[in-house]
């Protein structure tokens, strides 16, 4: 029996890529990319190709440290060119 993880890693991004770009799709990709704790502590919205993040300064600092990893995960889930940068509201 093969492990399920690699299959999920291939199938989920393919399914998400086919769905229209909606706030719910962006929220799902964000939650998947950063995990439930950061997701609960932040709000995001896509403005052109920048994912604007609002939240507690401590979490925003953590996001800044993980910026490259988060962008790679978002690109894998949403496709290239959808999110080109992460920004802050404050």
Calculate the alpha carbon distances from 64 to 38, 39, 53 in Å: 12, 14, 11
46-68 confidence digits (pLDDT tens): 999 999 999 988 999 999 999 99
Please, what is the average pLDDT of the chain? 87
Q: What is the pLDDT of residue 20?
A: 83
Domain at 40, CATH number? 3.30.300
Question: Range of 51's domain?
Answer: 4-88
- Residues in CB range of 27: below 8 A, 6 or more apart: 44
Residue position matching structure tokens 């291939």: 10
What percent of the chain has pLDDT above 70? 82
Q: How confident is the model at residue 88 (pLDDT cuts 50, 70, 90)?
A: confident
Res 38 pLDDT > 60:
yes
- DSSP 8-state symbol, 48: T
pLDDT band, residue 2 (cuts 50/70/90): low
């Amino acid at each position: 029996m093969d492990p399920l993880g690699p299959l999920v890693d291939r199938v989920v991004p393919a399914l998400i890529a086919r769905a229209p770009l909606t706030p719910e799709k962006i929220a799902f990709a964000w939650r998947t990319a950063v995990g439930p704790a950061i997701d609960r502590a932040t709000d995001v919205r896509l403005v052109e190709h920048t994912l604007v993040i609002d939240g507690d300064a401590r979490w925003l600092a953590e996001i800044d440290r993980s910026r490259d990893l988060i962008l790679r995960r978002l690109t894998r889930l949403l496709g290239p060119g959808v999110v080109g940068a992460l920004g802050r509201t404050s």
